[in-house]
Structure 1
Amino acid sequence: MDYKDYYQVLGVEKTATKDQIKKAYRKLARQHHPDVNPGNEEAERKFKEANEAQEVLSDDEKRRKYDQLGADWQRYQQTGGARGGQSQGGGFDWSQYAQGGGAGGGEDPFGGADFSDFFSSMFGGVGGQGGGRPRTGQDYQAELELSLEDAYQGGPRTLTVNGKNLRLTIQPGAEDGQVIRLRDQGGPGRSGGPAGSLYITLRIRPDARYSRTGHDLTMDVPIDMYTTLLGGEKTVETLSGAVKITIKPETPNGTRLRLRGKGFPVYRQPGQFGDLYLRLSLTLPQHLTDEEKTLFRQLAALRQ
């Protein structure tokens, strides 16, 4: 039975806080989740290792016991890995650490289906093996991709996690990287404990028309030379519908116009919106005719 370095698995120091452990676990869980890596046995192995490491290091009692064992593990190996009682070779008493997986007779007490032999021998496996106090089930991680319009409008969405279809409602104004928690949709509890939670990270695809800064949006609006010089009106499509804007005569190229309340909804604050900024971009006529070139030369001469 090999020793498991749970700190190394998560890539954290032995002095890591619970928040640092949780952050490292979530990163690895997203990277190696079976839904992201279908059929990849190596990713599945790393996903299980991360789950196991988080199970131990996020629990004060398990972590204390694991840290205590770490100092004695070398003696355990030197004694040949005696499983029960006190070894004659080095005086290492494994029984003070081992829970016993509930096996009896000639069965291997180090067995375990979901966790490693090392974990099962120390903590009695999962699903109530070896008794113990009720424990909350494992938290799961998932991602949900949305378009900018989806995030603007909100509404119901269906997400499949571990073969289970889950329905959730996205509130208008959701942000990229925002995490939504669904209680009791994680792993099953142990020894009668509650199920874990499902943490869904929202990923909003970039939009070719708009750039977003907080609740505000910016978009480029092409304006022809004649409207720029003489003024006029132009219809602009926004996320909330068409808006007609007025262009003043001789408007400089790059001018920014502000449309109040036409930006992104403020999350969980109904009726509140950011602003939409229109950046006017001059477009020049192409493929001029001989007559048009003559007229432009006349205009240029008048300006000299």
Structure 2
Amino acid sequence: MSKRDYYEVLGISKSASADEIKKAYRKMAIKYHPDKNPGDKEAEEKFKEAAEAYEVLSDDQKRARYDQFGHAGMGGNGGFGGGGFGGGMNMEDIFSQFGDIFGGGFGGFGGGGGGRQQVKGSNLRIRIKLNLEEMVNGTHKTIKVKKMKMAEGATSKTCPTCNGSGVQLKVMNTMFGQMQTQTTCSTCQGIGKVADKIPAGANAQGLVKDEEEITINIPAGARDGIQLNVRGKGNDAPFGGTPGDLLVIIEEEVDQTIKREGDNLHQELYVSFAEAALGTKKEIPTVGGKVKITVDPGTQSGKILRLAGKGLPSIDSYGKGDMFIHINVWTPQKLTKEQKDFFEKQMSSGEMVAEPSGKEKTFFDKVKDLFN
């Protein structure tokens, strides 16, 4: 079954403001909240669908990416910047991430606000270097990540202080009588469980250092400095909680040939004096593969050729940038006696001038005769 358009899910237009998006999501979330629709699977799916739409449209980078490429651009493994709940986001994830949007009107899944907390492992942060071609076209990277994992044989037991509730009740005597307050359990920190059996080499929470091989999907159009969120690939949580996330920061490798300026690319092309005089065809590399360009006869050093649409995909709008080829004419450093005599004759006759003139065509005809 294909995904519905995120704007359609929230019932808003594509030009909706951030405030309109938030209001629309709050309305949908309250309407289909599990507390108001107990046991209703259809309502639960609509609740998740609205949360997924809000997660993307409330983030400027993800929204721009979605507007340009749709669902396909959100990718796997959390997509571009971590989009998409469909691959493992549960109700606890939704409440932990968007709980504040309800303004305190609801508790966690099935109520329970202030009770036992869902423990989550800590996030990991890594950096990956990509060349321009990988950033433009997308790629997959398989890397080894050092992380904390639950030790084999580690077990937990119910917290003896709060009996698994995650909270402690305190009674205070005041001038108005006795007052009862509820605080997070100081022993288990609200988890409701404490360590029971800890294998050798594990820490107090039953975690050990380990290494895992992870394949990361880099979507097309990535940019230097963006962060991808790979859900559930961070450190394990103690006592069977939810693993943290792997945060992948993209770094652009310095390209010695192609330079970037926004969505546009620049490249220098050196041609010989003869090629500039006579004209030629050159094959040059671009981020989309090699292309052939034509250097016209009489091309001057410093001329710039524009290849439309051969730049980077725009992240803020539709379309692509351009590639600009900067022509540099290479002046020969060693000449044969025949070539030297030819150039000396041209200089002495005044036909070789450093500015455009009516004699320029005649000069190129002579150069063509010489080099042929």
TM-score relative to the length of structure 1? 0.51
Q: Provide the C-alpha distance between the structure 2 equivalents of 1:191 and 1:170, rounded to a whole number of angstroms.
A: 32
Q: Could you tell me which of 289, 312, 336 is aligned with 1:289?
A: 336
Conserved 8 A contact 1:172-1:268: no
Deviation at 1:132, TM superposition (A): 5.6
Cα displacement string for residues 34-62 of structure 1 (whole angstroms, at most 9, x for unaligned residues): xxxxxxxxxxxxxxxxxxxxxxxxxxxxx
Q: In structure 2, how many angstroms separate the alpha carbons of the residues matched to 1:197 and 1:223?
A: 51
Partner SS, residue 137 of structure 1: coil
Distance 2:238 2:316 in 1: 35
CA distance in 2, matches of 1:171, 1:248: 38
**By how many angstroms is 1:268 displaced?**
10
Match of 2:346 among 283, 294, 299: 299
Q: Tell me if 1:138 matches 2:122.
A: yes
Structure 1 position 206, deviation (Å): 0.8
Question: What is residue 281 of structure 2 aligned with on the other side?
Answer: 233
Q: State which of 269, 276, 280 in structure 1 corresponds to 2:327.
A: 280
Q: Would the alpha carbon gap of residues 288 and 159 (structure 1) be closer, same or farther in structure 2, given more than 3 Å must change?
A: same
The whole-number CA distance in structure 2 between the counterparts of 1:299 and 1:235 is 32
TM-score after normalising by structure 2: 0.42
Counterpart residue type for residue 259 of structure 2: S
**Structure 1 match to 2:141:** 157
Distance 2:314 2:238 in 1: 40
Structure 2: any 5+ residue segments left out of the alignment?
1-114, 147-210, 352-372
Q: CA separation in 1, counterparts of 2:117 and 2:220?
A: 41
- Following superposition, the deviation at residue 179 of structure 1 comes to 1.0
Q: Secondary structure at the match of 2:347?
A: helix
Partner of 1:182: 230
Q: Are 2:198 and 1:214 equivalent residues in the alignment?
A: no
Tell me which protein shows more strand as a share of its residues. Answer: 2
> Alpha-carbon deviation of 1:301?
2.0
Instruction: Write the mapping of 1:69-148 to structure 2, written as runs, cut at 5 A.
Output: 133-148=117-132
Contact 2:124–2:247 under 8 Å retained in 1: yes
Whole-angstrom distance in 2 between the partners of 1:296 and 1:277: 32
Separation in structure 1 between the aligned mates of residue 304 and residue 124 of structure 2, nearest angstrom: 45
Q: Residue 181 of structure 1 aligns to which amino acid in structure 2?
A: N
Cα distance, 1:272 vs structure 2: 4.0
> Higher relative contact order by CA 8 Å / sep ≥ 6: 1 or 2?
2
CA deviation string 1:75-97 (max 9, x = no partner): xxxxxxxxxxxxxxxxxxxxxxx
Q: Deviation per CA, 1:127-184, whole angstroms, max 9, x where unpaired?
A: xxxx963333211111112222322332221121111111121112222222111112
Alignment of 1:42-61 (within 5 A): none
Note the C-alpha offset of 1:225. Answer: 1.5
Percent of aligned positions that are identical: 29
Segments of structure 1 that go 5 or more residues without pairing to the other structure are: 1-130
Distance 1:239 1:185 in 2: 31
2:133–2:288 contact (8 Å) kept in structure 1: no
Question: 1:107 — aligned with what?
Answer: none
Q: 1:264 aligns with which of 312, 317, 320?
A: 312
C-alpha RMSD of matched pairs (Å):
2.6
Q: Is the 8 A contact 2:143 2:213 kept in 1?
A: yes
Residue 341 of structure 2: SS of its match in structure 1? helix
